[in-house]
Structure 1
Amino acid sequence: MLTVIERAGTDTDRSATWLCECECGNKKVVQGNALRQGKTRSCGCLNKQKSFIDETGNVYGKLTVIQRVPSTTQSKAKWLCQCECGNYREVEGTKLRKGKITHCGCDRKSTKGRVSPTKGKTFPTKVRPNQQYGALLVLGRVPRKGKGDVIWACRCMLCGGRTEIRSSSLTSRKTKSCGCLAGRPWEKRKQKKMSLRELLKGKVNPK
């Protein structure tokens, strides 16, 4: 419903125009004839709201839809949902129906570690002593001055050598040994298609 605030002037047809405020909070200039004849009853939000799908009571994953809430985007209906964990979250109806959002975010918070996009395996994001990354066993933190990436002392389980590796190189799996896999041993491993796990079992001698 529109509420007339004041006269705005005249249009090209010399018809009086009026500045009106809609129930949704928007303002619009409307011809007086359109107001009197009931042709214009809102700023346009009523036409956009007619096609929305009522999601009240529907369940999507862990989310149960409770009620519709005001949305900053008038073309997309937004819904207040309650998660199985008890938290609440506002979600657009299209994202619910497409399965893009199925929880309040509690699934991500409860997941320990980070998933590698290449192998799909979970590995720790924080380096700690006695953790193994590839063939490297973390022994302890190396004291250093100043800021920067943390350095860790590691022992290579393939050759027994000791080396110092940055945290980022360990967690990203960029460094998997002290360097003994480079050169001919790496080519030998590649030709026989041996995995690092098989190397650690002693099936191939890297030296």
Structure 2
Amino acid sequence: MGRARLTFEGKDLIDLAASSGVKFNTLRKRLIVHGTPFPAHLDPAVKGAARRERERERRATVQRGAIAIGQTFGHLTVTGRIESAASGASRCTCTCTCGGTKEARSDRLRSGEVQSCGCLRAENVRKARANVRSHGRPPIVPIATGNVFGRLTITSPAPKGKRGIERWHVRCACAVEKVMNGATIRHALKSGTEPSCGCVRAEKNAEHMRELGKRAGEWSKGRTVTPIEPGRVFGRLTVQSRAPQPPGSNGRAAFWLCRCECGGSKTTRADSLLQGWTQSCGCMRKVGVAKGTPNQGIHANAAAYPESPANPCRA
């Protein structure tokens, strides 16, 4: 079944689309909505004339209030007027408070779009960049010879490091002289810490250790620690003698050779014995796992060694 042909004033709509250059579906919709495929308000010539008329009315509205000589707009003061340009917009010559001159359109002066010769924008950009660099803090004083930052005094510039890193010879208040990166000094200033050669951190660490020692002293009041000596018993272990430092140790901890009740031997640190972390050669854990009690400790494995002198459950 063929499609019904649409006609307007005896002409086929397909032929009208081919001759006018407008798509067939567009002409069909116009015919349905407006009753004609070429309504007057959609004519390009009519649309262009209406647009030009609206532009003339807008310009006439903008130019109703004439700008007088001496009138001020922001930082600009009007000193003269220029004949309207080809676009129809009048222009004014102005002087800025900074001493510069500026030619601007009258409508842009009235709307506040133009308020200076450009100096106001440059000033705002400088303020924004300074705020971004300092994250809201006051700008940092550039590093130079003779400047004092915290405990550091800049004595002279040093050769640049890798990739051109800025470096300076500095003297600290503690009489230490060293070479420091400029970025390290600036970072200390930005973070609010006192720049130094490292003595400030050392003092804080020493104070922290003194505080820890004070707390440990208060905790250990009324407690007595018996020194480790051969024959002393810790759980199932009996101390035999001092043992040499094993490979990989820091050389500061004391090690003891101990004999276990099961016949095994164990070399362990002194603090592990005193704190109760090591109580056997490992047999306690093995027996506990075999009996289904994987918890390590004397009480969990007391039944395995009922006659042990280290067994608190012994009768």
Q: TM-score range by the shorter chain?
A: 0.3 to 0.5
Higher normalized contact order (CA 8 Å, seq sep 6+, divided by chain length): 1
Query: Which structure has more strand as a fraction of its residues?
Result: 1
Larger radius of gyration: 2
Query: Which structure has more helix as a fraction of its residues?
Result: 2
Q: TM-score w.r.t. structure 1 length?
A: 0.46
